[in-house]
Amino acid sequence: MDNEMNARPKCFRQGELIFIPCTVTKEQREFLTRGGRDMGRNIREGEVSGHIHAINAGTLIELPQATGGYYQDGARFEIPRGEMFLTSDHQIKITHPEHDTLPLDHGDYVIRVQREYDETRDRQVLD
C-alpha cells in the first residue's frame, strides 16, 4: 500500500466534532440533501461557550432519520438519525474561535458529535 495513503487520517476532528470522509453516489447525495434540514453555515453551537463551529462552503444537512449504506475505505456504514452530512465541490474551512481552522478537501463527510462514556451514562461532549 502507498505510504501517502497510510499517513492520511481517516477522520478529522475539531473539538467535539468528528468529520468522516465518505463516498456517496450522485443519487445518494441528492437524496441526503433533499431529505434533511438545511443548517446553513452553522454546524453546532457550544453548550458551554456559545461559540459556533461553522463552514465557509458547501451544503450542511441534519438528517431526520437513519440512512442507507455509505462507504469509507470499502467498509459500509449508515448515518444515524440526527447526524449531519456535509458536501462541497470546493475546499471547506471549519472555523471556531477556540480551535484552529480545520481545512477539509472538497467531497462528502458525515459529521458526528463525539460521545463520552463514564460507566453510568453516555453523553455528548460539551464544547
Indicate the residue type of 104.
L
Q: What's residue 10's pLDDT?
A: 83
Name the band, by pLDDT with cuts 50, 70 and 90, for residue 2: very low
Is the pLDDT higher at 48 or at 111? 111
C-alpha cell at 60: 450542511
- For the chain, give every domain's residue range: 3-115
Span 94-122, pLDDT tens digits: 999 988 999 999 999 989 887 665 666 55
Q: What's residue 31's pLDDT?
A: 79
Span 24-45, pLDDT tens digits: 888 888 877 777 788 899 998 7
- In this prediction the pTM is 0.75
Distance CA(98)–CA(17), nearest Å, equals 13
- For 2-25, what is the mean pLDDT? 74
Q: What's residue 16's pLDDT?
A: 85
Average confidence score pLDDT of the chain: 77
**Residue 28 CB partners (closer than 8 Å, separation 6+):** 68, 70
